[in-house]
Chain A
Amino acid sequence: MADTQNYQAIEHKAKVRSRISQTIVHILLALWAVIVLFPFYWMLLTSVKSYGAYNSEYIPKFFTLSPTFQNYIDAFTTVPLGRYLLNTLIFAVVTTAIMMVVIIGAAFAFARLDFKGKNFLFTFFLALMMIPNELVIITNFQTITHWGMRNTFLGLILPSVTSVFYIYLLKENFEGIPDSLYKAAKVDGTSDFKYLTRVMIPIARPTIITIIILKVIECWNSFVWPRLITDKQEYFLVSNGIQEIRENGFGRENVPAMMAAVVVISVPLIILFLIFRKKIMAGVSRGGTKG
């Protein structure tokens, strides 16, 4: 009997303990969620406050009763935000498209074809992965300048159309496709190119889509190279655009309009993320790093 009492006490204690620790865990997790989300909330909130209302609030309000879309209109009319968005879209789509052709070709050669010096060349490619961008960007800047490609899309795009890492990722994926399929295709008289487009690419589609999404995100957020290579607003991407807006845009104090621009720039990627959440997170955990 005494023992049973004892057990009840242990049960009770365990229950209380787990409840306390669960509560603490949830509070801390929620706290970080708030820290992450708050800037997003604040930009949305500020972007719908009117210029006058915002500047008259010494203590900022956490809500607004009279939301306005005037800031969004300002963002598109006072500064060429639409132009920036379009430029970024063109940059992202063209860069990604060219890159896919380049890396699929290289990955196919490494994964499926035999040629002299293949292993050596692949090891060399892997070694290139360790070269930081900062080291090569100086010469690239000089090269593009000499070619007279500053303030052109070509100058923006060309240095970003290869990625050794994505070649590596895709090659691994291609190699997972069984040899027997290739042999079967050869027996049927399928050419290498047809085999690549009809068999390998469809099979590797999940990886290819992941690479496309990650590359588009990278393009959308790229800042350093566009900043070096463009100084005319017609060729600004969103990152440079937002920097321009901050420094010369609406006049330094029009914070609500600035926030409207920030929202417009952030929303496309957030939507992309919410649609492809699983793919993006899986892709990033397989070896992406920021930028």
Chain B
Amino acid sequence: MKITLDHLTKKFPNRDKTKGDVTAVGDFCFDIPDGKLIGLLGPSGCGKSTTLNLISGLETPTSGRIFFGEDDVTKLPPEHRGIGLVFQNYALYPHLTVRQNILFPLQNLKGKNKLSKEQMNEKALEAAKLVQIDELMDRKPSELSGGQQQRVAIARALVKMPRVLLLDEPLSNLDARLRLQTREELRRIQQKTGITTIFVTHDQEEAMSISDEIVVMKSGIIQQIGKPQDVYDSPANLFVAKFLGTPPIDVFNGTVKGGKLYIGDEAVLPAVGVEDQDVYVGIRPEGFILNDKGAFTCQLQNVEVMGRDTSVVSTHKESLNVTIRSIISAENKVDTASKDVRFDLKPYKVFLFNKETEKRILFGGQLAADVPAEMEESLDTAAGRTDSQSK
């Protein structure tokens, strides 16, 4: 099922009645292709959960339309949309057993859709087998671990064969080890069923690792849509660059002058095709090459060796982060006695951003990610909004 979100907007009345409405989701346009796993990613309060609620029909949009395939479902009540929703805290009915929980949606079917007892049990067992909890059918939710509860919740959402599966922060209530395991499990289930799946998360690693595509949001506005690696390699603006990646990107104040990029007094890279201006410079931690004669000098703080990699922690007066973290291969030896450390930079790991709009400035033959034309507009409004908010 392909889902089309057309200029979707949701405003909430402000608690402070003197102020205007709060825009939770602003002008959201996105075609979700059939059978894909999509991650909605952003910091808390960015409108990703509201977007999910709009798709599920638990909330109705202020304006804009939602299409499932060719059908306009904008005002359709949730139960007629054919969706499955897994809640962050799973919302399993505590007084019902696993089996009764999974059967619950099937027992709601009426009229010609009504199933016989055998059919229901069969379907429930099928769903339980898919998420590998068929051994636990007669337990109560309180007798299950977090991971098992999660699976029951997914089984309950899948049992009526939804056209769309929605997951709200599916992994946030699990511990770190279970999270990795469940992540792969989710991917497996999605691929097996082929159901278009949308999940919401604030954890970029989670989104990057399993999504076919990610949608990065901030303050209700889409920042960028794309394949996880594309978005990482070519962020559309400073927010996206900072939000994706662990350790996070290092950001500096820089200047472009005469075709060269300066950080402080040092010309660190050629910046062909960019007008002279002040810029933000974002450098991915893996974008540093250790070189005694390198163009970029930082003040060495300490070195953390972590097996395969070495993490060099340093400072620089133009850095916006407190420390600069650069990841280099452990084969490189760093002279820890030295006061300074010098780097060369990999041009494709360095991003320039406009100081005002914070939008990406391409230089030296960098290619933009595939950003659709209409997205460019909403990016403009996004930048405008950010400005007005910071004031």
Direct contact of A and B (CB under 8 A): yes
Write the chain B residue with the least CB distance to A15: B75
Smallest CB–CB gap between A8 and chain B, Å?
A: 9
A14 touches B77 (CB 8 A): yes
Q: Does A7 contact B (CB under 8 A)?
A: yes
Docked complex Cα distance between A212 and B75 (Å): 51
The answer to whether B77 and A11 touch across the interface, beta carbons within 8 angstroms, is yes
Chain A residues with CB under 8 Å of B391's CB are none
Nearest Cβ in chain A — how far from B6, in angstroms?
15
Main secondary structure of the interface of B (DSSP, over half): loop
- Complex interface bits, B73-103 against A, C-beta within 8 A gives 1, otherwise 0: 1011100100000000000000000000000
Contacts of B71 in A (CB 8 A): 3-4, 7
Whether, in the assembled complex, B72 has its beta carbon less than 8 Å from a beta carbon of chain A, the answer is: yes
Give the CA-CA distance A34 to B134 in the complex, in Å.
Answer: 54
A 4-39 to B, binary, CB cutoff 8 A, 1 in contact else 0: 100100110010000000000000000000000000
Interface string of A168-205 (1 = CB under 8 A from B): 00000000000000000000000000000000000000
B77 surroundings in chain A (CB, below 8 A): 10-11, 14
How far, in whole Å, are A7 and B65 apart by their CA atoms in the complex?
A: 14
- Determine how close the nearest CB of chain B comes to the CB of A179; give it in whole angstroms: 30
Roughly how many angstroms separate A7 CA and B75 CA in the complex, as a whole number? 9
Kindly count the residue-residue contacts between A and B in the assembled complex, taking CB atoms under 8 Å apart.
19
Closest A-chain residue to B73, C-beta based?
A7
Q: Are A4 and B76 in contact (CB under 8 A)?
A: no
What are the residues of chain B within 8 A of A7 when measuring CB–CB? 71-73, 76, 80
Q: Is the interface of A mostly helix, strand, loop or mixed?
A: helix
Q: How far is the CB of A7 from chain B (nearest CB, A)?
A: 6
Q: How large is the interface on A (under 10, 10 to 19, 20 to 34, 35 or more residues)?
A: under 10
List A contacts of B72 (CB < 8 A). 4, 7
* CB of B4 to closest CB in A, whole Å: 14
With the chains together, A7 CA to B66 CA distance in Å?
13
A17 closest partner in B (C-beta): B77
The smallest beta-carbon distance between A216 and chain B, in angstroms, is 34
**Roughly how many angstroms separate A4 CA and B75 CA in the complex, as a whole number?**
12
* Chain A residues in 8 Å Cβ range of B75: 11
CB distance from B25 to the nearest CB of A (A): 21
A10 to B75, CA, bound (A): 10
Please indicate the chain A residues that have their CB under 8 angstroms from the CB of B80 in the complex.
7, 10, 14
Q: Chain A: which residue is nearest B72 at the CB level?
A: A4
- Residues of chain B lying within 8 A (CB to CB) of residue A14: 76-77, 80
A4-B80 Cα distance, complex, nearest whole Å: 12
| B291 → A minimal CB distance (Å) | 53
Bound-state Cα–Cα, A107 to B75, Å: 57
Distance in Å from the Cβ of B354 to the closest Cβ of chain A?
44
Q: Interface digits, B40-82 against A, CB 8 Å rule (1 contact, 0 not)?
A: 0000000000000000000000000000001111011100100
Chain B's closest residue to A10 (CB) is B80
Query: B residues within 8 A CB of A11?
Result: 75-77
Cα A14 to Cα B77 with chains together (Å): 7
The residues of B that contact A10 with a CB separation of less than 8 Å are: 76-77, 80
Give the complex CA separation of A3 and B77 in angstroms. 15
Interface string of A254-278 (1 = CB under 8 A from B): 0000000000000000000000000
Residue in A closest to B77 when the chains form the complex, CB atoms:
A14
A7 to B80, CA, bound (A): 9
> Which residues of A sit under 8 angstroms from B70, Cβ to Cβ?
3-4
Specify which chain A residues have a CB less than 8 angstroms from the CB of B76 in the assembled complex.
7, 10-11, 14
A11 to B72, CA, bound (A): 11
Separation of A14 and B81 alpha carbons in the complex (Å):
13
Complex Cα gap A7–B77 (Å): 10
How many Å lie between the Cα of A10 and that of B82 in the bound state?
Answer: 14
Residue of A nearest to B80 (CB): A10
Closest chain-A Cβ to B67's Cβ sits at a distance in Å of 10
The answer for the CA separation of A4 and B70 in the assembled complex, in Å, is 9
Smallest CB–CB gap between A187 and chain B, Å?
Answer: 36
B78 to chain A, nearest CB (A): 10
Residues 110-124 of B contacting A (Cβ, < 8 Å): none
Q: Which chain B residue shows the least CB distance to A14?
A: B77
Closest chain A residue to B78 by CB distance? Answer: A14
- Give min CB distance, A191 to chain B, whole Å: 45
- Measured between C-beta atoms, what is the minimum distance from A9 to chain B in Å? 10
CA distance A14 to B74 in the complex (A): 13
Shortest CB distance A182–B (Å): 35
**A4 / chain B contacts, CB cutoff of 8 Å:** 70-72
Instruction: Give chain A nearest CB distance to B73 CB in angstroms.
Output: 7
6 A-B pairs with the lowest CB-CB distances in the bound complex, closest first: A14-B77, A11-B75, A10-B80, A3-B71, A7-B76, A11-B76
Contacts A7-B73, A10-B76 aside, 17 further interface pairs with beta carbons under 8 A come to A3-B70, A3-B71, A4-B70, A4-B71, A4-B72, A7-B71, A7-B72, A7-B76, A7-B80, A10-B77, A10-B80, A11-B75, A11-B76, A11-B77, A14-B76, A14-B77, A14-B80
User: What are 6 residue pairs bridging A and B, where the CB atoms are less than 8 Å apart in the complex?
Assistant: A3-B70, A4-B71, A7-B72, A7-B73, A7-B76, A10-B77
